[in-house]
Amino acid sequence: TLTKLTTAITMTAQQRQLMTLNIERAKKGLPPIDIASYSGVGVNVGLSPDTKNLLIFGGLALVAVFFLTRNR
């Protein structure tokens, strides 16, 4: 669903920001920040089965539209 996709995109952006922050801290000789110790919620990096199904059916729909409009 759109909500799950938005959540995944937001979490990816937050992970990127945390990684950038940890790289800057490493350059200064500081220890990295572990987000799990602050939030207690782990970050899921993989795709959920619903997202995989959405991508598969969306890809199949695009291929079908391509072939149906190509013959005209």
Number of Cβ atoms within 10 Å of the Cβ of 15:
13
Please report, as a single letter, which amino acid is at residue 17: Q
pLDDT of residue 53: 86
**Tens of pLDDT along 47-69?**
778 888 888 899 999 999 888 88
- Model pTM? 0.44
Kind and range of the H or E run holding 61 = helix 49-70
Cα dihedral 51, 53, 56, 58, rounded to 10, equals -70
**10-35 pLDDT tens trace:** 888 888 888 899 999 999 999 888 77
